[in-house]
Each structure stands twice: as C-alpha cells, then as structure tokens.
Chains A and B, each alone.
Chain A
C-alpha cells in the first residue's frame, strides 16, 4: 500500500481535523504529502522503528511516579509532523506575547502594591486561597522586573478551528527537550520534506536561553556562573535537565551540591567552593529552601531564599510564579490584559466555573457529562475528572470531594480538541492533540520559538494528552 492510498483511507474526526477539512486536504499539508507520495507502508514502518530505537538508545525518557515497575518510560513519538501555517502562527505568537506581558506585570503587582485587588479586578479571597501565592516572595525585587523568564503556554484548537489557551505554565514548564529531539529525529526521517517545506528553526533555543540567563547575573562579569538545579535522576523531567545542561554547556547541580555562606551561593567542587550567579531551577518553590518553605525538603538549599532576596543570586523562574498559573487565576487573565495593557485578548480563554460558587456548582452537576473538573493545584492530568469518560460512581465520589473543599476545584466545558493524522499500527488514524509553544522573556523582547511540543492522545477518541496518562508527542512544523 502506498502513502496516497493511506491518505485516501484516512477518516478525519467529527470535530476539526488539521489535515483534512470538508473541502479535502488543507493547504498547509499539501506540500508535505506531495514530498512523501513515493513512500509505501513498509517505508513508514521502517521510519517508525528507527525513531523508536533512537529514543530508546538515547535514553529520552520520562518517569511516571505512580508506576511501581520500571520508572523510566519512553515518550511515544509519532513520526508524522503536525503542520501549522505561518499566518496562524503569527496570531499565536502575538497572543502569547500579550498574555505573558500581562501575567508578568500581574506578578510584579501581586507581590508589591496589589493594585489589581484594590481596583476590584481579582477578589482578594481568590489570591489568598490560591496555593500558588507565596508570602515569602512579597517585596522581593527581581532583575529587569522579569518574573517568568521561561514559559510554556498550553493551547488547544476547538471544533471550529479556533485557538484557546488551556493553561499558562510559568513555574518550571517542561517539554522543550522533546520539542528539540523530535525535530532532530524528524529531520532524519523526512530530510527532503523538511527542506522543501521551509520549516522554521527551533534549534537556537538553548543559545537564547543561555544568553538570557547570563543577562540576569547580579555580578557584572563577562562569564557568570550559570547552573541548572535539578531534583536528581529520579525526577520525571531529568532527561530534560541533562539535555539543557549539555546544550548550554553549564553545570547540572543538585541541592546537595550547593551551600549558602554569608548569603552567597556556592557549589562544592573538588578544589573547594565556587560562587554561582544564576540558577535555572527545576525544583518547585516548596522544596527550594527548607529554612523558608518545606522544612523536610532534602532537594533544596538551606538559605538560598535569603541569598536571592539580597540579590546575590538570580533564580529563574522567579519564586512565587505559581500564583500566575493557578487554575483559578487563569479565569482572570483576559481581565488582566484589559487592566494592565488596555488591549483585547488575542487568544481565547476556556470558560471556567468556580466550585466555591453555588450557582457554578449546580451548573456543573447538571452538565457534568460535558465538563472537565480539575484541581487548581495539580497538573500533568493528575486529579482530573472527565465527565464524559467517568462512571456514575466516580462522578459521585468526585462531587463529594468538591463539596468538602470547593475552593480547590474549577470546571470547564470539554472542548473537542482538533485531530491530526498519526501513523499507528500500519494505519493513518485521527488523534486529538494539544500544543505547547515555549517563550523566553528577555530584557528587551519576548521570543516565542517557532514550533513547540505537540502532545497526542494516542488512544482513539481520548482527549487526555499528558505523557503520564498515555499520551505521546510529534514534531510541529511552522511553515
């Protein structure tokens, strides 16, 4: 069977399919399909096998915490790239920049004057109830007034092809290494298609990130010491930590490698202590400093918060960013854009219902089959209920949990995610996807890398794309 027969037999989903619309193949896919028209089924199967071996031997893995067996898993990869046209990308680019600007001002505001509360845009109770609000971050000034240096914004495409923001990830967004590795592998699998489609490059991300980190050094020196702080080899994103350290040529350190003396952070080297200027931490606030946060944390560094407060070290992303990507605060981002920037939001929000509002809770109960309920303080697909995929018993149990602590839950209508073609079991099948582009917020500009991580729900009909819940990924081409 050749590829054209596979494409003809492809059945798009009922919602928005990104390759095949009512009028046939969409324009952005035409060139790619033409460039692979001479391939057959065996060629695709061979490419799939090559990609699996590359991922396996390179140890490109993630860890699932609830899995008691082998903790490391390969992130499944689909060989066919997802293609997004340039005009659509320009809108996404502008929308993310606008959103990040507003969220960054919000972070500065909320940890200083709190005018957004005083002006009644966000209720004080919402901030106070958020587990992401960090009292220890009050009054701390950060370099260049930038809080969210590195962001990953989760986007989805709805039934009519319109884009929505699903989540803002402003703490330690992961996935950028998969974006870069997926690209490297796709280049090897489809070298000619890659050239003929004029795909925009993503591979300068590590250089941009390194330069951005260096610019934050509190010491005005030409070669500041930058490190990545990782929880260690058992962390779910450890592959990414090592990948970035290698790509940027910086040390990958763990909490036990660092020590604070006289409010200066040092790393322990074989020839003594060596001062650190910038820390790109991949550890949550809670575990960062046992003297200020969780006293039982063995991942963090005692005294690091004081060193940060005294501006002897830069910590990226800033401490306290959890308030800005809290699922309850998400609802207010369009108002923030209006309040801080006096602009209309370019990207849509998904309507959000608060479970501490009795009317919203009643609405949820009546429409639960069409709703997804999330815990405000969890991510990665954990603690979530999909109304259309849960039994009555599961729903009853979940509703009881909401009644016990309504502040911890929000609900959203289920959006039928767009689908793209995936090569699974020798067939071309439609699977739902989301999209996480990555942004670097620099002193002079915000750069959105033209690409991103597309996550795929590999099970037929499933809308859950998280790697921890059986999702996979594919390369994303902006052409």
Chain B
C-alpha cells in the first residue's frame, strides 16, 4: 500500500470519528437545552471552547442563542474546528483514495459533505430546523460507520481505518475527561450532581451502560472506572487502546520490512499505563497527571506511526 494512501485512510477516519463525536455532543446538549435553556447541566461552554476555540467572553455571547451556538459548532464557516470542517477534511482524504474504499463509503461521506456544504452557518436562518439538521448529521455519520464495517475488506485499509478511529477516540476521551473533571477539581468523591454526570454519560453514549453496571453511588469514581478502565465499554480508553493494539499488530504482521521493535516499544508505553492501572493507582498519581502522561505517550506513539508508515 502506498504511504500516501495509508496516511489518507488513517486521517479519513480520524476526522470522521471527530465529526461523529461533535454531532453527538451537540445533539445531547441541544436536547437538554430545549427544556432548560443553557442550564448549568449542559456543557455548552466546554463544547464552544473545545470545538470552537472560543474564549470566555465569546462563549458568554455565543450561549445567548441556542441555534447560533449549535450552528457555530456544526456548520459555521468561521469555525475551523466545526463538524463541517472535519467532514470536509475527511471527504478530501476520501476523494484521494476512492479506489481503496468502497463506493458506498465514498457516497456516504460525499452526502455528509454536500449536506453541510449547502448550509451557511455564518448567518443561521431562523427557518433552519436545527433539530432535523442534528438528527440528519447524527444518523448519517452513524450510517457511515456502519458502511465502513459492512463494505471495507479486512485488509490493510481496514487496519489503518481502525487505527485512525481509535487513536482519535482515545485523544477525545482523554481531553473530555480532563475537561469534565477539571470542574470537579479532579476529585474522586461524589459531588451528588446527578444531572451533570448524566449529561456527560449521554454525550459518551454510556448512560444506559452505566445504569446497568455501576450500582454504588459514587459517580465520580464510577465514571473514571467506566471511561478509563472498563474493558467492554467502547468509548473507554482501555477498550480503544486494546483495539489499537489489535490493528497495529495486524499491520506489522502483514508488512515484513517495518522496524517492529520501535513501534511496539512506543505502543507498550501507553499500553502499560492502562493495562496495569486501577483506580487506586490513578488516584495515587492524580487524575490530571495520569491523563497528561497518557496523552503524552499517545502523542509519541502517533508520531512513531507517522514516521514509520507515512513518511
């Protein structure tokens, strides 16, 4: 496989994963805010800062209008981190590798691109039905992921697609845990704010899973357990890193001329941080430090992937 193609496949899915998370986060917060306009239980300030790069003053202005805030995160041309921008980059990568992905996947990413292209977020039209727009984008990005699973052959393309997806997912989970626990001063003790945590779990598609699996009342430590250490929860860091391991090993197995030792060494540095960790270990290290170290190791591994496969 051409190095350029491998890189495009990797980034195609990194951007798509990020797009999927943006729209899911907006969807949950939009829905909550419809009942209770910009309540304390929503995450709009964090969303606008993380996916829009806004400063506190700009955030104060943006959250005066729910539709404008949603438009800014989804389709506003002035926001370089919006859903539209991420899908556009994903589609640009897909365009350069149409002979390596299925026609169905290309058509789906093209559909998402055309849907967002037709809307200008600079001047949100009062007639734009944001509820419908959010639903359309959410369903279609899920459909994109389904088509990836259904139509991409299990060769190198599949491996790089998944490597991109799980690296991006791990980065996003680390950053969002940092954002939500910052407000809790990185405490492991419960703050009793059930709605705060419920919103976050809905944003991570983990609310129902949480209800079934975590019966004790300490939400703060339960959520650390679920989002970092849970082996089965698909948004958890443990799960994402175990998937990364699977796909990096598959790539190395197929490509004989690669310096395996260097890549595996960098990977094991992250893996060791998660595979042998437990709540006590994280607590001892401090959640903020733990997340910071994990992100640093992930950055190093990501660079190693670039150096060995793409350059």
Contact = CB atoms under 8 A, between A and B. Distances in A.
B99 A269 contact: no
A59 B109 CA distance: 10
Contacts of B117: 70
B1 A269 contact: yes
A56 interface: yes
Contacts of A233: 92, 95-96
Interface string A239-276: 00011011000111110110000000001111110000
A270 B114 contact: no
Contacts of B309: 270
Interface-centre pick from A252, A253, A254 (highest chain B CB count, 10 A): A252
Nearest to A54: B107
A172 to B, nearest CB: 18
B98 A271 contact: no
A23 interface: no
Interface-centre pick from B96, B117, B258 (highest chain A CB count, 10 A): B96
Contact of A246 (B2, B95, B99, B256): B99
A232 B110 contact: no
Contact of B111 (A57, A238, A243, A245): A57
Interface string B244-267: 000000010001111000000000
B106 interface: yes
A38 interface: no
B2 A58 contact: no
Nearest to A227: B2
B95 A59 contact: yes
Nearest to A248: B99
A270 B6 contact: yes
A58 B98 contact: no
Contact of A269 (B3, B103, B107, B110): B3
Contacts of B114: 56-57
A254 B7 CA distance: 14
B4 interface: yes
Nearest to B98: A242
Interface-centre pick from A243, A245, A267, A270 (highest chain B CB count, 10 A): A270
Contacts of A58: 103, 106-107, 110
B107 to A, nearest CB: 5
A256 B4 CA distance: 9
Interface in A275-303: none
A271 B256 contact: yes
Given A57-B110, A254-B4, A257-B4, A232 B258 contact: no
B99 A252 contact: yes
A232 B93 CA distance: 11
B96 A269 contact: no
B95 A251 contact: no
Given A270-B309, A271-B255, A271-B258, A57 B2 contact: no
B286 to A, nearest CB: 39
B96 A270 contact: no
B99 A251 contact: yes
B106 A59 contact: yes
Interface in A120-146: none
Interface-centre pick from A233, A251, A272 (highest chain B CB count, 10 A): A233
Contacts of A57: 107, 110-111, 114
Nearest to B91: A59
A176 to B, nearest CB: 16
A429 B106 CA distance: 35
A233 B4 CA distance: 13
A267 B2 contact: yes
Interface of A: 56-59, 70, 232-233, 238, 242-243, 245-246, 250-254, 256-257, 267-272
A245 B96 CA distance: 11
B2 A253 contact: yes
Interface of B: 1-6, 92, 95-96, 98-99, 103, 106-107, 110-111, 114, 117, 156, 251, 255-258, 309-310
Contacts of A70: 117
A53 to B, nearest CB: 10
Contacts of B106: 58-59
Contact of B107 (A59, A246, A254): A59
Nearest to B8: A233
16 contacts: A58-B106, A59-B107, A233-B92, A233-B96, A243-B98, A245-B98, A246-B99, A250-B99, A251-B5, A252-B99, A257-B3, A268-B2, A268-B3, A270-B251, A271-B258, A272-B257
A238 B98 CA distance: 10
A59 B258 CA distance: 36
Contacts of A246: 98-99, 103
Given A270-B258, A271-B255, A232 B96 contact: yes
Nearest to B256: A271
List the 6 closest A-B pairs by CB distance, nearest first.
A242-B98, A245-B99, A271-B255, A271-B257, A246-B99, A59-B110
A270 B1 contact: yes
Contacts of A242: 95, 98-99
A233 B93 CA distance: 9
Nearest to A268: B3
Contacts of B110: 57-59
Contacts of A59: 95, 106-107, 110
B50 to A, nearest CB: 29
Contacts of B111: 57
Nearest to B102: A246
A232 B5 CA distance: 12
Contacts of A243: 98
Nearest to B5: A251
Nearest to A60: B110
Contacts of B95: 59, 233, 238, 242
Nearest to B156: A270
Contacts of A232: 96
A252 B8 CA distance: 13
A238 B94 CA distance: 13
Given A58-B106, A245-B98, A270-B251, 12 more contacts: A57-B114, A58-B107, A58-B110, A233-B92, A238-B95, A243-B98, A251-B99, A270-B156, A270-B255, A270-B310, A271-B255, A272-B257
Nearest to A256: B4
A57 B114 CA distance: 8
A429 to B, nearest CB: 29
A57 B105 CA distance: 11
A58 B114 CA distance: 11
Nearest to A274: B2
B255 to A, nearest CB: 4
A250 B2 CA distance: 12
A238 B97 CA distance: 11
Contacts of A271: 255-258
A42 B70 CA distance: 39
A71 B98 CA distance: 19
Interface-centre pick from B5, B6, B103, B117 (highest chain A CB count, 10 A): B5
